[in-house]
Amino acid sequence: MSVRRQAARSALVGLVLAGAFGCGKRDPGSTAGPAPSASPAVSASSAVLAPLGRLATPTAFELTASPTGATLVWAPAHRTAAALEKRELDASGALQAPLDVAVASASVAGEVADLAAVWVGSRLALAWLERSGAATRVRAAWAGTSSAPFELGAAWSGPRSSRGNVVMAVRGDKALVFARGAEAACVEVGRHGCFAFGFHELEASRAVATGLPMSVPVPCTDNSAALAVRGERFHYGVCTETAGRSVTTLFSIQHDPEYARADPLLEGCTPAGTFLWRNAAWLVGDCGGGRRAARIGDDPQEFLDLHGLRLECRSGRLRIRAPSLDLALDEPRSGLAALLPPDVAPTGARAAWTGRALLVATSFAEELRLTRRTCNGDRLEMSTLLP
């Protein structure tokens, strides 16, 4: 057995899943080049943010790009007709009326947390953790439908502020949900603290369990699950703690032609999310105060230096810049929080690009707040969006 394959087997101890795996090299250090020159930009971090409403929990909100701009979904602390509400925003980032019911109040008995959402064509798919006393479960639904939410199984009852244990992506005409379940038996003898992880595909009228279940030892509290889909290949990962250090193992799967591999990435870094760039999927991590990214599932392994992330406007076009990154925002995209400076998108924030505006949703003292950033020539401008 090769050294590469031995490393992969070591990284997969305690995990159960389908396929055969290979292993990438570990992070050898930054491959960053010289920092590109900066264009004029204005910081707006000192602006006062007005609240949109009080949340049921600090993580009971999601912001995702939509076919017409973006969609903000949240669970209000005080329910009336809706357990989950949603508000559409147009391509300019302006709030549209009216406020809509995403999931009816009668369909949700517990407390919503770790909310995720994704558009699949013209339908909005939702998934969340629902806490009722000491019990927590994973549930999902198509927004606006009258049918009851789908039951996806028991889940970990972690801290109210933990996030990233339920993730979603679009795969074909279905929504794919990858979630951390309840405590489970460990595969390796003598190990403790293992949790189940599993997939569900949301169809029009049902949720179907797919793939083989996983038993993961000592998952990370936040962002224990990662998911990205690129063409016919999808990547999913789990973050685990070993001797006080985090490591995220990413699995890359493709069915036609058949392809499978596993890579332990960004050891010692706290995962912050995934993104697509230059026809590849990347894992972002907070590494000792600075951010880095690792390319998922390709050789040779590549890493990005993301320290000093900043927003820049050039001739009316917004870019995200770092020593190893120059991402021009053009087509609408979700999941940008991991690529934004902390003063723009603090921990737990959600960010989306509508095609003309950068929107950032945050929870401050469980109050939902939303800001919009746009380019006026070479100047970055920010405004607060009110209900």
Does residue 288 have a pLDDT over 70? yes
Task: Decide yes or no: CATH 2.130.10 for domain 3-384.
Answer: yes
Sheet of strand 270-277, all strands in order from the earlier edge strand to the far edge: 270-277, 280-287, 290-295, 303-305
User: Which residue has tokens 């607060």?
Assistant: 384
Tell me which of 35 and 74 has the higher pLDDT: 74
Q: Label residue 251 by pLDDT band (50, 70, 90).
A: very high
pLDDT at 27: 41
pLDDT at 353: 97
Does residue 243 have a pLDDT over 90? no
8 Å CB contact between 354 and 371: no
Please list the helix, strand and coil fractions of the chain in percent, rounded to the nearest 5, in that order: 5, 55, 45
Q: Which residues contact 243 (CB under 8 A, 6 or more apart)?
A: none
DSSP strands (E only) in 41-105:
51-54, 61-65, 70-74, 82-89, 100-104
Q: What is the pTM of this model?
A: 0.86
**Rounded average pLDDT over 207-227:** 93
For the stretch 49-74, pLDDT in tens is: 456 789 999 999 999 999 999 999 99
Q: Which residues contact 104 (CB under 8 A, 6 or more apart)?
A: 81, 82, 83, 146
pLDDT at 182: 96
Q: Label residue 179 by pLDDT band (50, 70, 90).
A: very high
**Rounded average pLDDT over 238-247:** 91
Alpha helices (H) in the chain, listed in sequence order: 3-11
pLDDT at 50: 54
pLDDT at 264: 94
8 Å CB contact between 97 and 386: no
Does residue 186 have a pLDDT over 80? yes
CA 311 to chain centre: 20
Length of the chain: 387
* Rounded (5°) CA angle 8-9-12: 90
The b-or-e profile of 171-188 (16+ CB within 10 A means b, else e) is beebbbbbbbbeebebbe
The rounded mean pLDDT for the chain is 86
Share of the chain above pLDDT 90, in %: 70
